[in-house]
Structure 1
Amino acid sequence: MRRRNESAGSEPTAAPASGTETGAETAAAPGRTQRGIQSVEVGGRLLRALADARAPLAPSDLAASGEIPSSQAHAYLVSLTRLGLIKRDALSGRYEPGPLALRLGLLHLAQQPALREAVPRAAALAQALNCSVALCIAGPQGPTIVRYEHASLPLHVNLHVGTVMSLPATSTGRVFCAFLAPEALRAMWATQTAQPVWRGMPHAAHNAQATPTVPAAPDAAFAATLESIRARGYERGIDAPSPGVSSVCVPVLGARRELSLTLTAIGASGALDVRPNGAVVRALCDAAAEIAAAAFPSTST
């Protein structure tokens, strides 16, 4: 007999999703099949539904999106939570990606050439410039920190790996707006318009009232700002969005001039050199050029 080890003591059953294999067999090669574990694949549907939603989901909505009856989805949610693939917010009761999901995502990202080249340079920049340095990539909800090198002196901002940056309110977000492909930017903008995101204020992630939603669409003045960013190749944030904290952000562009990631230096206003030709701007631009040349050799030719 097959031993069962589900969190509820028995293995839930669910009708397979339309268009998927029934049972637990998937095609391995013409004329051959490989047997898998149906319960794992059912749990995977819940994970995929959460990823597709790009936002925390209530248990009933998550079950519906995964095409699993709510009564049967509960046991899967318990097990996925125990594994750390998802977590449930204690206040809202909604599920969101968990720490193990983040670690797996970061492991995948670590294999990307640009990020692999950027990580040691970010650490060196933080030490040389005496400031924090964040590496951000395009996430479903916006520019997302995937590496954060802390400054020697603490900053009064709640930044960490996984933080999503506001598109219009942060220097990092504006660089993404200036260099990201239009279709990807539209998706991010729509996501941030629909729900509040971090704007750089202490503990804002836990206070929706402190985090107003972004405008429905960029205006002409914002478009002009983006043109200026493209022309100079970097963006600054001075005492904004957090008073007393400033930043400088530069893009790392790929072989086809597509945005790969950003380098952002963050420090106390007055201590961080944000002059257009200052040490921080020069160091970040040089580092971005080195990362691009190493990760995308064709960019140096």
Structure 2
Amino acid sequence: MTEADPDRYRAPALDKGLDILELLAGVDGGLTQAEIAKRLDRSPNEFYRMLDRLVRRGYVSRLEGDRYMLTLKLFGLAQMHAPTRRLSSFATPLMRELGEKTQQANHIVVYDRGHPVVIAQQEAPGYWGISIRVGSRMGLFDTGSGHVLLAFRSPDLRAMMVAEHVGSGGPDGRMTEAFEARLEEIRQRGYEMMPSAQTPGVINLSAPIVSADGSAIGALTVPYIALINTPGAADVTTTIASLCDTARRLSDLAGAGLGADSAAD
């Protein structure tokens, strides 16, 4: 056995767990224990303990009919990876510029283990603005950020987000045909515009920060309030244009600058 031998330091149990995760990541609807064993060309008994541990640790969920499906825990861990964490630092000058152009506050939200979570916040430059505390957990169904995160995800991932949101204490999902149609409108339009469900007089404007494949890794949101006698304040149409432009620039950073930076780690 040489140093170049890839199996020099084999860890069979770890390999078995990774085999299961990689297999489940590539299928829709989950698999039974027998189906997993057949696809991996092993005995079903070999996977009982491993599946039990993966379920208990939250990486896999057990569905009706003894089917196993990947949860979003790995996705949540990926959101904690350096490129996503650094998004807030890369975004700061652009968020400040957006605030100056619009005279409005803005913030960035990412999805993390059942809830949209605020990871960066820019105060409005003037006297008035709506601030959302960094670390705040939000709803998927009653916020512009939640709508954008759902709209710019694949149907399978969207369904898992909804299930995880409900399972973590969020309100029951309303994935009706009307709501699905609304998400499609958001995708076509490129942003969400809706009255705040939390604060009267506020209009949530939210645009996606997307990866190279068009999937939302975050949402840039302006809680827009009409400002009177405020020099330089932008109207809602101008604010939407500035918001979408900033989100596109952040998407470029997320796809290029952040990726290149992480590759150098």
TM over 0.5: yes
Count of residues in correspondence between the two structures: 181
* Correspondence for 2:17: none
CA distance in structure 2 between the aligned counterparts of 1:115 and 1:160, rounded to whole angstroms: 14
CA distance in structure 2 between the aligned counterparts of 1:126 and 1:195, rounded to whole angstroms: 33
Give the 5 Å matches for 1:224-243: 224-243=181-200
CA distance in structure 2 between the aligned counterparts of 1:264 and 1:128, rounded to whole angstroms: 14
* Correspondence for 2:84: 109
Shift of residue 167, structure 1, vs aligned partner: 1.1
- Structure 2's unaligned 5+ residue stretches are 1-7, 11-53, 60-79, 258-265
Query: Contact 2:210 / 2:254 at 8 angstroms: preserved in 1?
Result: no
Gap change, CA 1:173 and 1:190, over 3 Å in 2: same
Gap change, CA 1:257 and 1:107, over 3 Å in 2: closer
* Correspondence for 1:251: 208
Find out whether 1:162 has 2:135 as its counterpart: yes
Give the 5 Å matches for 1:212-231: 213-215=171-173, 217-231=174-188
CA distance in structure 1 between the aligned counterparts of 2:176 and 2:184, rounded to whole angstroms: 13
The secondary structure found in structure 2 opposite 1:264 is strand
CA distance in structure 2 between the aligned counterparts of 1:107 and 1:254, rounded to whole angstroms: 15
CA displacement, residues 246-296 of structure 1 (integer Å, 9 cap, x when unaligned): 220000211111112111011325678674xx1111101111222223432
CA distance in structure 2 between the aligned counterparts of 1:108 and 1:256, rounded to whole angstroms: 16
Give the 5 Å matches for 1:61-100: none
The secondary structure found in structure 2 opposite 1:251 is strand
* Correspondence for 2:251: 292
State the AA in 1 paired with 2:217. S
Gap change, CA 1:253 and 1:107, over 3 Å in 2: closer
TM-score (norm. length: structure 1):
0.52
Select the structure with the greater relative contact order (CA < 8 A; seq sep ≥ 6): 2
Find out whether 1:130 has 2:98 as its counterpart: no
Gap change, CA 1:182 and 1:142, over 3 Å in 2: farther
Gap change, CA 1:153 and 1:166, over 3 Å in 2: farther
State the AA in 2 paired with 1:109. T
* Correspondence for 2:123: 150
Shift of residue 135, structure 1, vs aligned partner: 0.6
- Structure 1's unaligned 5+ residue stretches are 1-28, 32-48, 55-104, 198-212
CA RMSD of aligned residues (A): 3.3
Gap change, CA 1:255 and 1:195, over 3 Å in 2: closer
* Correspondence for 1:188: 161
* Correspondence for 2:26: none
Query: Contact 2:110 / 2:119 at 8 angstroms: preserved in 1?
Result: yes
Shift of residue 195, structure 1, vs aligned partner: 5.0
CA distance in structure 1 between the aligned counterparts of 2:185 and 2:227, rounded to whole angstroms: 24
CA distance in structure 2 between the aligned counterparts of 1:173 and 1:279, rounded to whole angstroms: 23
Q: Percent identity?
A: 23
CA distance in structure 2 between the aligned counterparts of 1:273 and 1:169, rounded to whole angstroms: 25
Shift of residue 187, structure 1, vs aligned partner: 2.9
Find out whether 1:264 has 2:221 as its counterpart: yes
Gap change, CA 1:143 and 1:284, over 3 Å in 2: same
CA distance in structure 1 between the aligned counterparts of 2:81 and 2:103, rounded to whole angstroms: 25
CA distance in structure 1 between the aligned counterparts of 2:115 and 2:201, rounded to whole angstroms: 24
Q: Structure 1 or 2: larger helix share?
A: 2
* Correspondence for 1:175: 148
Shift of residue 244, structure 1, vs aligned partner: 1.9
Gap change, CA 1:181 and 1:273, over 3 Å in 2: farther
